Amino acid sequence: MARLKRRAPKLHKQVEHLFRALEKTPDLGYPLEGEWEGCFAVHVGDDRYRVIWEIQPPIDDYTGRAGDQVTPVVVLRVGPKTDGQHRTIYEQPRPEQP
């Protein structure tokens, strides 16, 4: 994200806005299939970039009231739609989660 902020500040703001929207609705975007099953994606930056994330199981919200839960979201990729070899971001391997 730091590199994105330096190279494309306008795009960085779009991605930050998306992250704030994910706090309210983690299932924004469109669901992915195949290796990316269970993930969601959106197009940003005039359709030149992709943001891919995975919704985690709900956990107890220790800052809220008793019984409140939050749904964590793990951002897996933020990058150009294609790389220098014309492979899409979806053709890159899915990062492993701990």
pLDDT digits (tens, 9 = 90+) for 64-85: 777 778 888 888 999 999 988 9
d(CA 47, CA 74): 22
83: left (phi over 0), alpha (psi -120 to 50) or beta: beta
pLDDT digits (tens, 9 = 90+) for 14-49: 999 998 898 888 778 999 999 999 999 999 999 999
pTM, to two decimals: 0.82
Structure tokens given for 6: 């330096």
Give how far the C-alpha of residue 81 lies from the chain's centroid of Cα atoms, to the nearest Å: 13
